[in-house]
Amino acid sequence: MNSTTHLTGIVEWAANGPVLRTDGGGTWELDNTRQVRKFIGSRVEVVGERSGFNGFACDRIWPAGQPRPTAFKLRLEFILAAAFVAYGLYATIGAAISALG
C-alpha cells in the first residue's frame, strides 16, 4: 500500500530522465514532466508516492526552504451555487422564449 512521502534533495538529469538525489544519498527516478524539468539543478522538496523500486510519482514539487504551495481546491458550495445560478438563467431564458412564441 502506497503512502505519501516527503523528500528533499537536488533534481538532476540522468540517462533515463530526471532523478532526485536525496540528502541521505538515495536516488529516485522522477516523472519526466514539465513541472519536474523546470527544477533541474535545483534543491527541492517533493511530496508524492513511491513507484516500484526507486521510482517516485510527484504530487507536488517546490524549491527547498520555501513554504509548500497550496493545492487548488474546488469547494462544493461554489459548485452548487454556480449550478443554481446556471439553472436560474436557463429557466428565465426558457420562460422568455416560450412567452414570445
pLDDT tens, position by position, 25-80:
899 999 888 889 999 999 999 999 998 889 999 889 999 988 887 766 667 777 88
Residues 6+ apart with CB under 8 A from 68: 45, 47, 60, 62
What pTM does this model have?
Answer: 0.64
Q: What are phi and psi of 79, to 5 degrees?
A: -65, -45
Domain at 4-63, CATH from 2.60.120, 1.10.150, 1.10.8, 2.40.50? 2.40.50
Domain ranges of the chain: 4-63, 71-100
Q: What confidence score (pLDDT) does residue 10 get?
A: 97
Q: What confidence score (pLDDT) does residue 11 get?
A: 97
